[in-house]
Structure 1
């Protein structure tokens, strides 16, 4: 229910229901944009920066809806990317290892290093971390964490570079901002591309890097329109649509 022209009226649309639960600041931000319009990438990123009003350095988020069927293994897009300008986020890295690899992980700057003890902590509900890296000889123990870490996208996986004996390289890369991306069950990939405090050109470079990778990784089995939609937003701000055609032109595709 809401008041319209001094009278009580029933909210009838899903959009109105959602907006009625949003903050006044958010609603004011929406009034400054055209939600149905598609923006050029640079214009969208500049607008996201202009609209940001939180009292912290918000992340700039990217969501790409791909024309794939993730339930098919050959269309389950997953990998890692090192953004040219980083993400601006401090990553908390856990390493599951044993022997000399424990020392190697600690020297490389891992935040938490251990074996069975850390596995038990996670089983007990501890999840205060962003990345879990495991050596291959720890996967028999780490495998117990599948039901906990799998749904959160945190389970160590060779394709993501998080199951490896090259612990030093892995820790340093993820601490420097290496990101894992994976398509969800709806065909959407979501990840941060920087902070509001980043210059627009840095955000644009990061955006281009991700889009170039996703386009190059189009599965041969994917049919029809591949890039269905692209949206960007700040942590607390409204979402802006980016024109897929302008992205293809920008990348020379």
Structure 2
């Protein structure tokens, strides 16, 4: 069993582990439990009532957080010709085609998000075994395979995040930094919860949002009442 330090032990004393907090209370409380010397990431974890083994119950997509994540993402774009120029003008950090593919095959993956135009996917497909396990493979479901590179890059730079259920039906995603104002964290929290409700699979049965919690990078989790989550509908 993992051992926690003195600061973690002190932080967890502030939490009533038997209580389900309102979102506003939870956001306020994580400010008190953040003890690290760096600007910790605030993370949202949601347990959904889905069975990801079935394709029609998988939950995956992307959402632009109103106030971003507090981190500037490095964007790689696979494109040629005019589309490559468009990507550069839109602020992509890396742009290329065969040259970038060769570089990645050589072990380079120093970027956070990869975007590709549809015509490049035959080339990019060679990188599936490298980018797939890292969650970096361009995918039309999350808007990273698109002819509209300007929009895709702008959204990513503005704070677009991807969400995806793991094998147990959980979703983990960043919703900002501990230095954010409470209201900004709450708005980001609302944006992710609202989109998860919107994309609820028709095949999902019973209670959809089963558990919600927020935490910081180094802090304990704080449980949020699913019935008080913004936009909650069952």
TM-score normalised by the chain length of structure 1? 0.88
Match of 1:59 in 2: 41
Alignment of 1:143 onto 2:125:
yes
When residues 222 and 32 of structure 1 are mapped into structure 2, their CA distance, relative to the original with a 3 A threshold, is same
Instruction: Return the alpha-carbon distance in structure 1 between the equivalents of residues 104 and 21 of structure 2.
Output: 42
Contact 2:213-2:221 within 8 A present in 1 as well: yes
Matched, 1:220 2:202: yes
Contact 2:44 2:214 in 1 (8 A): yes
Q: Which residue of the partner structure matches residue 75 of structure 2?
A: 93
Tell me the equivalent position of 2:215: 233
Q: Deviations over 1:126-162 (max 9, x none)?
A: 2221110011111111111212222222210111110
Q: 1:70 aligns with which of 48, 52, 62?
A: 52
**Cα RMSD after superposing both structures:** 1.3
Match of 2:231 in 1: 251
Q: Could you say which residue in structure 2 is the equivalent of 1:199?
A: 181
Question: Which aligned pairs between 1:93-242 and structure 2 lie closer than 5 A?
Answer: 93-242=75-224
Shift of 1:71: 2.1
* CA shift for structure 1 position 252: 5.9
- SS of residue paired to 2:132: helix
1:34 is matched with 16
| Other-structure match for 1:25 | 7
Q: Which moved more, 1:216-225 or 1:117-126?
A: 117-126
- Structure 2, unpaired ranges of 5+: none
Q: What's the offset of the Cα at 1:82?
A: 1.0
Matched residues in 2 for 1:106 and 1:36: separation?
51
SS at match of 1:57: coil
Q: Distance in 2 between matches of 1:55 and 1:161?
A: 35
Instruction: Go from structure 1 to structure 2 and tell me whether the alpha carbon gap of 1:239 and 1:220 turns closer, same or farther (over 3 Å shift).
Output: same
In 2, Cα distance between equivalents of 1:27 and 1:121: 45
Aligned length: 233
Q: Which runs of 5+ in 1 are unaligned?
A: 1-16
- SS of the residue corresponding to residue 152 of structure 1 reads coil
Q: Which has the larger radius of gyration?
A: 1
Please report the TM-score for the alignment, with normalisation by the length of structure 2: 0.95
Question: Is the contact between residue 41 and residue 174 of structure 2 (CA under 8 Å) also seen in structure 1?
Answer: yes
